[in-house]
Amino acid sequence: MILKTKIFIYLSSIALLASCNSNTNMNTNEKNQKEESVEITEAQIDHLGITDVNHLSAASKRALKWPMDLGNEWFIQFGPLQPLKGDLAYEEGVVRRDPSAMIKENGKYYVWYTKSTGPTQGFGGDIENEKVFPWDRCDIWYATSEDGETWKEEGLAVARGKKGEYDDRSVFTVEIMKHENKYYLCYQTVKSPYNVRVKNQVGLAWSDSPNGPWTKSKEPILSPADNGIWEGETQDRSLVKKKGDFDSHKVHDPCIIPYKGKFYLYYKGEQMGEQITFGGRQIRHGVAIADKPEGPYVKSPYNPISNSGHEICVWPYNGGIAALITTDGPEKNTIQWAKDGINFEIMSVIPGVNAHAIGLNRDADNEKEPTEILRWGLSHIYNNSDYQSIMSYTSARKTKHVAKGAKKSK
């Protein structure tokens, strides 16, 4: 027999009404209460360990909204990073970072990545001639491997543009997409000078072979929103008169996914005047959609589609799009899924992720289970403040907690 108990939970919804008109008072805080009827079953009470249905904490009220059928298949743990062999092993004086996803062609894995040489001077040095970040003054290179462990560096794929072009300073943080026997690389671009308030963009290159040659787009395929206003002329990214959209300063970490006959370009947005909040940095994700890989890409009116995250890590699953959200924001360290590729819901909250700028294994059977594509892949690691290298990561589903020395049930 299932016990069904009806209780009434009173939730407060606060609407903050503000006007920019100087003649209007900005003190209208309107608080409305609504009655919500929640039906609780005996199974829920037992599952959540609720002591008394007549005295529910805020935590219990939130827990009652969780789907009862939300299973364990989305919960994973990442293992320690492992060094690669061959040309992608750590090399002093060289930056190799931000690996793309891997694709398998002609019996070999291919990966593309950011590469530069020399130390980083920061913004306090000569920005015209030095490196301000490890990803400054970079080009995109690629490597191949038969086993995903020992890699051969094949050479340059996409170089920086000529002086005066939108990508003349750096091209970096690359992602690969294969569609109809054609290959597409999307990546970040910066035009000189690389100062604190510079607004980077997203470029695209395409080829009939993973070995190139690559044809670059003459113009960016994605740019920051143009609706923020800096305050003063000082190179200080925190001083703004108006912050603008979530991507008013920078668009980062692009990844294009063919989806429902369209092309979804997922990206990270940085806002002018970005702040530190209760979730850390104000980093959010967005999506822009096109009818063909080359664009034009139109930003979704639903942006931002996440309130957390850092590097983009997305993959198709079960007719929708899954995403690993890490590093920044109140929903960091979660795996999320959107039936429509836009409205993401949290499917699991996982322990801290030690893999960064994840390069997925696109050769994996991503429909086998939700996180199959995360079983192994590539990451970068900060060997020191100047140089980074690419390493491998692994993950595994965790289904039980067993004490040390206890027998595991079969």
pLDDT digits (tens, 9 = 90+) for 275-302: 999 999 999 999 999 999 999 999 999 9
- Please name the residue that has the structure tokens 């309130």: 307
State mean pLDDT over 37-60: 89
Six-digit token string for 263: 């092309």
Buried b (16+ CB within 10 A) or exposed e, 242-256: ebbbbbbbbbbbbbb
pLDDT digits (tens, 9 = 90+) for 203-258: 999 999 999 999 999 999 999 999 999 999 999 999 999 999 999 999 999 999 99
Residue 174 contacts residue 187 (beta carbons within 8 Å): yes
pLDDT at 37: 63
With 80 as the cut, is the pLDDT of residue 131 above it? yes
d(CA 323, CA 266): 10
pLDDT at 362: 97
In whole numbers, what is the pLDDT of the chain averaged over residues?
Answer: 90
pLDDT band at 353 (very low <50, low <70, confident <90, very high): very high
With 80 as the cut, is the pLDDT of residue 361 above it? yes
pLDDT at 161: 98
State mean pLDDT over 154-169: 98
Provide the 8-state DSSP code for 292: S
d(CA 27, CA 18): 7
Beta-ladder partners of 264: 257, 289
pTM of the model: 0.90
User: Strands 103-105 and 108-117, how do they pair?
Assistant: antiparallel
Torsions phi, psi for 215 (to 5 deg): -100, 125
pLDDT at 400: 87
Percent over 90 (pLDDT), the chain = 84
Amino acid residing at 310: H
- Please name the residue that has the structure tokens 């079960």: 318
pLDDT at 13: 32
Give 3-state DSSP helix, strand, coil % of the chain, rounded to 5.
5, 45, 55
pLDDT band at 410 (very low <50, low <70, confident <90, very high): low
State mean pLDDT over 50-55: 93
pLDDT band at 104 (very low <50, low <70, confident <90, very high): very high
Residue 105 contacts residue 210 (beta carbons within 8 Å): yes
d(CA 368, CA 391): 25
Residue 40 contacts residue 53 (beta carbons within 8 Å): yes
Burial of 105 (0-12, 13-18, 19+ CB in 10 A): middle
Six-digit token string for 97: 């970072």
State mean pLDDT over 73-101: 97
Residue 287 contacts residue 264 (beta carbons within 8 Å): yes
pLDDT digits (tens, 9 = 90+) for 310-336: 999 999 999 999 999 999 999 999 999
Coil/strand/helix, residue 202: strand
pLDDT at 352: 87
Single out the residue of 184, 213, 214 nearest to residue 101, CA to CA. 184
Q: Could you give the domains of the chain?
A: 4-63 (no CATH), 76-397 (2.115.10.20)
Six-digit token string for 73: 């298949």
State mean pLDDT over 172-181: 97
Torsions phi, psi for 68 (to 5 deg): -65, -25
